[in-house]
Amino acid sequence: MTFGRKFRIQAVFCAFAVVVCELISLPFTTMNICDDGIYIHMARIFADTGHIVYPGWGATMMGAQLCMAAAFIKLFGSSATSIRMSTLLLAAIAAFFFQRSLVRTGSSERNATLGTLAAVISPMYLMLSGTFMTDIPGFLAITLCLYGCVRAVQEPSDRYSIVWIFFAVVTCVVFGTSRQIAWLGNLVMVPCTLWLLRSRRRVVLAGAVATALAFLSILACTHWLAKQPYIVPVPLIVTPFPMKVAWRQLTYILLEIPFLVLPVIAVFTPRIFRTRPPVKIILLTVLAAYVVLAFASRRHPDPFVHLEPTAGNPGSWVTFYGVFATVAGTPRFLDTKSLVVLTILCIGGLLGVIAVATQPSRVEPFSTQVTNDPSWKQIGILLLPFSIAYLILLVAAVGTTLNIFDRYALGLLGPAMIVLIRLYQERIQQNLPPATIVLIIIMGAYGVIVTHNNFALDRARVDLANELHAHGIPYTSIDGSWDYNLDTELRHSNHINNPRIINPAGAYVPQPPPAPGYCQSFWSDQTPHVRGIYGIAFDPNYCHGPASFPPVQYRPWPFRTPINLYAIRYAPSAQ
């Protein structure tokens, strides 16, 4: 056994790459990022009291994630940065097991490493790894479950197969408490594994017991969560169901996946030109038509198709803004030419995958260190039902949230990458080409840059709010946009004023409309203690124009050209 195989050097390298790229981006800010300030608030309470207290935002259980954060708080303090570093640790662990899962499902060590790097130093993964959001723990739960299931199928010994099934079940139950959709690993992927092992009665019996225990644990957790005050329930089925909205949101998430795996899927694009002439004409026509329609749709406020990276709603993370855009007048990071290039690579790669999948293999069988790689049929049984169930749950959630955010696509990274690498190895050539390495470097740099810019913007927002406060303006009179305002609200209330709260009754208090002439921020009714007299914007003429305070500058990468953030007046009479 070689040193590299013994210590899984390439998987360790992938985990190390996540940490290094994240720290290079300087992921430090004291303010809330999207939802994570709510969860940071919960983590601090949990570390102090041992109780899980929900503040009226979201429906995630947060169990394992709060335990991890509490440990970091005890070791490093209760700062937002130390709490967020617990997510970075989970992101590194997920990268390690993602690489091993790719190897175990038939990828060579080299291709598995490239595929993992393409996923874990992508803009989406890096941006989320520096936050206390639940997406990375959910991704870890799915990855560990997949790894355990594959190992169970490959083990010739019944004893070790049972051990790996229990590994898959336990890790999925535990980390699924952070993001419940990950429990589909237990509810779908593990039963599919038992079906593959149905000829081994001892394994099936033990696996059935483990699955039943997992199901009971999930029921108990779900029942407990539903009884907690200030939790926001998400019913499975809503009537009437907004089918058009669901279809549109599903399109967004499916089109986001090629972007998340761009360094691997893009190298399929040239295969369009190597297929049969009739097929080539059809595929090129589809690609050209998509680009034209996507480009034209940018003129509409709610487009059905998009240039990559897709952004179907205001909660998207990876967009042409280059930051999680909540501040009025956010400047664009990617120009139109860049969007067109990304679209051609993503959609062209997707069409190239179709071209390759419909042609017979011309590559000799590939031998890896793992000699019992699962067949395509086994991979399909493991991954296809899970992927379908995952998409169905996302679509069902549209009835309540009206959105499927782009970060939800992380749960499908594993199935997508496994299929792409296996297909490339078996139908084109054994090694991913140098172009993949180049694209990984480009996308990794892009990920570091946009992660840095997101945190740099948020640090500037905090600085500007502090500057206003230093001039005697209370924080409750400063509208820093909805994500900033959530922090302010929780300093003055024990919960967000969310209209979806049903326990305790009357927790939500309807808010009066703003006075005539006053500006109003997004979700202002949910933060009633924040009554903005001043706001923060990139455009000094937004609302009622600039306030009498100097702007705050921050320097985004890569060119460090200063960008101003302005204090603007929300009220006509503000002085």
Looking at residue 258, its pLDDT comes to 93
Looking at residue 432, its pLDDT comes to 96
Looking at residue 426, its pLDDT comes to 92
Looking at residue 575, its pLDDT comes to 45
User: DSSP letters along 319-386, please?
Assistant: STTSS---SBTPPPSS-HHHHHHHHHHHHHHHHHHHHHHTS---SPPP--S-SSPPPHHHHHHHHHHH
- Is beta strand 478-479 parallel, antiparallel or unpaired with respect to 563-569? unpaired
Residue with tokens 């991704």: 139
Whether residue 460 contacts residue 481, with contact meaning beta carbons closer than 8 Å, is answered with no
Looking at residue 434, its pLDDT comes to 96
Question: Within 13 Å of residue 274, how many CA atoms lie on the same side as its CB?
Answer: 16
Looking at residue 371, its pLDDT comes to 56
User: DSSP letters along 487-523, please?
Assistant: HHHHHH-SS---TT--SSTT-----PPPPTT----TT
Sequence-distant (6+) residues with CB within 8 A of 226 are 233
Cβ-count burial 141-152 (b if 16+ within 10 Å, e if not): bbbbbbbbbbbb
Sequence-distant (6+) residues with CB within 8 A of 50 are none
**Token pair recorded at residue 319:** 């967009």
User: DSSP letters along 432-466, please?
Assistant: --HHHHHHHHHHHHHHHHHHHHHHHHHHHHHHHHH
User: 203-233, pLDDT tens digit by residue?
Assistant: 999 999 999 999 999 999 999 999 999 998 8
**Token pair recorded at residue 250:** 């599903």
- Is beta strand 552-554 parallel, antiparallel or unpaired with respect to 478-479? unpaired
Q: Of 449, 450, 458, which is closest to residue 565 (Cα–Cα)?
A: 458
* Cis before 546 (ω within 30): no
Whether residue 114 contacts residue 264, with contact meaning beta carbons closer than 8 Å, is answered with yes
Q: What is the biggest distance separating any 2 CA atoms in the chain, rounded to whole angstroms?
A: 78
Looking at residue 51, its pLDDT comes to 94
Q: How far is the first Cα of the chain from the last one, in angstroms, to the nearest whole number?
A: 74
**CA-to-CA distance for 535 and 162, rounded, in angstroms?**
58
Whether residue 86 contacts residue 65, with contact meaning beta carbons closer than 8 Å, is answered with yes
**What are 46-50's contacts with CB under 8 Å, separation 24+?**
46/70, 47/73, 47/74, 47/78
Q: Give the residues of the chain that fall short of pLDDT 50.
A: 1, 302-304, 367-370, 574-575
User: 520-558, pLDDT tens digit by residue?
Assistant: 777 888 999 998 899 999 999 999 999 989 999 999 999
**Token pair recorded at residue 484:** 């900033």
Q: Is 182 helix (H, G, I), strand (E, B) or coil?
A: helix
* Cis before 233 (ω within 30): no
Q: Is 552 helix (H, G, I), strand (E, B) or coil?
A: strand
Looking at residue 274, its pLDDT comes to 87
Looking at residue 304, its pLDDT comes to 42
Whether residue 399 contacts residue 242, with contact meaning beta carbons closer than 8 Å, is answered with yes
Q: Mean pLDDT for the chain?
A: 90
Looking at residue 231, its pLDDT comes to 92
Give me the amino acid identity at 19. V
Looking at residue 311, its pLDDT comes to 64
